[in-house]
């Protein structure tokens, strides 16, 4: 299976316990201490700059292999060969294949949430925040198709103790959108409705961009952002779908 086909099977491949854990609570997902802030920023061997660079190469190779072949089909021997090192040396940086997957998942979520917090306009105007969230989400994920693929398809491969904090971090990020929609409904800017269900539908729509978007296509990316803003406003039940108002978040810097 390749990256561009994963949305066809993502929902069917998720195990029941994962779906249950993924259901966010009415409060912030961080309220029980299992939040994105509790995820380790790095589990790699950072004892030296050379060691850190090697760990980065291992992670890059693993992302590519896991996305192309699936986590279960890839061996530590394959990863070591891809990086050009012996299998024994690989264990100097990561104790197991599971540790590599956890590092990939953790980095994706901590990077995503940190980048959003840097541009979050707050709740002063829910419509401005909604547009900012749409532009941010698709801008951030634009060139991260493999990471997005793994963040959905390989949740099932995480061991329970690793799965719980990742799912909690995902719920925390989803809560941002749920809260924005709920605030918009409370202010009368959006039609009353199920904010939780709308947030899930909207995230699926926005994240799906990684399944088809390619640079150099018919529309410039900024046009795609604006069109998605219109779609999000309609989905959220905005009385006006005018998204021409400017926010400082219309052009999101892609951080790596």
**Segments making up each domain of the chain, as ranges:** 12-41+105-256, 44-93
Mean pLDDT of all residues in the chain? 81
What mean pLDDT comes out for the span 80-100? 95
Cα 81 to Cα 75: distance, rounded to the nearest angstrom: 10
Fold assignment, 12-41+105-256: Tetracycline Repressor; domain 2 (1.10.357)
Q: How many CB atoms lie within 10 A of CB 251?
A: 11
Task: Report pLDDT digits (tens) over 132-153.
Answer: 999 999 999 998 999 999 999 9
What CATH fold (topology level) applies to the domain 44-93? Arc Repressor Mutant, subunit A (1.10.10)
pTM for this model (two decimals): 0.77
Comparing 166 with 213, which gets the higher pLDDT?
Answer: 166
Closest alpha carbon to 235 in 118, 133, 119, 113: 133
Angle ∠(133,135,138) on CA atoms, nearest 5: 100
Cβ 106 vs Cβ 40: under 8 Å:
yes
Q: Work out the pLDDT band at 38, boundaries 50, 70, 90.
A: low
């Amino acid at each position: 299976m390749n990256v561009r086909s994963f949305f066809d099977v993502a929902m069917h491949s998720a195990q029941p316990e994962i779906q249950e854990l993924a259901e966010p609570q009415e409060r912030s997902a961080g309220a029980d201490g299992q939040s994105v802030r509790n995820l380790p920023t790095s589990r790699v061997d950072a004892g030296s700059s050379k060691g850190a660079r090697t760990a980065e190469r291992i992670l890059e190779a693993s992302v590519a292999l896991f996305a192309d072949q699936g986590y279960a089909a890839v061996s530590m021997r394959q990863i070591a060969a891809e990086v050009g090192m012996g299998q024994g040396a690989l264990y100097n940086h990561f104790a197991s294949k599971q540790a590599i997957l956890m590092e990939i998942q953790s980095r994706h979520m901590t990077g995503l949430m940190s980048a959003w917090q840097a541009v979050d306009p707050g709740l002063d105007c829910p419509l401005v925040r909604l547009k900012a969230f749409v532009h941010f989400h698709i801008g951030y994920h634009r060139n991260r198709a493999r990471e997005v693929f793994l963040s959905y398809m390989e949740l099932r491969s995480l061991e329970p103790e690793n799965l719980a904090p990742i799912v909690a971090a995902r719920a925390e990020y989803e809560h941002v959108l749920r809260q924005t929609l709920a605030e918009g409904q409370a202010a009368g800017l959006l039609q009353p409705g199920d904010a939780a269900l709308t947030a899930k539908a909207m995230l699926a729509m926005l994240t799906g961009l990684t399944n088809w978007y390619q640079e150099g296509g018919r529309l410039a990316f900024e046009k795609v952002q604006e069109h998605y803003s219109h779609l999000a406003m309609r989905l959220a039940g905005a009385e006006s779908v005018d998204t021409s108002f400017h926010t400082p978040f219309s052009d999101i810097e892609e951080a790596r």
